[in-house]
Amino acid sequence: MANKRYGMVIDLRKCAGCHACTVACKAENKVPDGIKRTKIIEEETGEFPNVAITFRKHQCMHCQDAPCVKVCPTKASYHTEFGTCEVDPKLCIGCKYCVHACPYRARTINPENGLPEKCTLCVDKLAKGELPACATTCIGNAITVGDLNDPNSEVSRAVAKGARPLNPEWNTKPSIFYIWNRR
């Protein structure tokens, strides 16, 4: 089993909602027209004048207990040695079960090759010791990437300090954590 678990802590207090991550990802990963692997979701709560807006970077959560991996009939969806969720194009038959099973709605189908299209945490860059494209370009420095299984990593420390995943009640053990906006 993989003993690394790469994940991301996204500090929503620093996220300007600028979409640089979305565009950098498109450039890095040649994501087809009309599809985004990561995107900013703007959430407004409250009533004027007590209103808050949160910009949240949304993407594949790289769950450790991933519904997509669980439902894939051919084990094409799997965890890499970095603990990220990945799709093996050789095994994938394009049944789309994973797309429907993902509670975060973080997958779609690439019309060019029929494969599930989603964030890979730029696993090829991780393998080279580089950071994902979104993390390097983030103008608010809101994105930290590291090994959650290493208690001394910056991400682990942020999690220890209270960074939370989205919908932990789904028990999918996501590897993407958020530090929520204070307003």
At closest approach, how far in Å is the CB of 6 from another protein? 20
At closest approach, how far in Å is the CB of 50 from another protein? 9
In three-state secondary structure terms, 179 is strand
Give 53 or 164: the residue with its C-beta nearer to another protein. 53
Give 46 or 151: the residue with its C-beta nearer to another protein. 46
Element (H, E) at 160: helix 154-160
At closest approach, how far in Å is the CB of 63 from another protein? 11
Q: How many CB atoms neighbour CB 94 within 10 A?
A: 13
At closest approach, how far in Å is the CB of 16 from another protein? 4
Give 112 or 164: the residue with its C-beta nearer to another protein. 112
| Residue whose entry in the numeric block shows the structure tokens 């993390």 | 135
At closest approach, how far in Å is the CB of 58 from another protein? 6
Give 99 or 159: the residue with its C-beta nearer to another protein. 99
Q: Which residues of 47-70 are buried (b: 16+ CB within 10 A; e: fewer)?
A: eeeeeeebbbbbbbbbbbebbbbe
Give 105 or 152: the residue with its C-beta nearer to another protein. 105
Instruction: Label each residue of 41-94 as H, E or C.
Output: EEEEEEECCEEEEEEEEECCCCCCCCHHHHHCCCCCEEECCCCCEEECCCCCCC
113 secondary structure, DSSP code? T
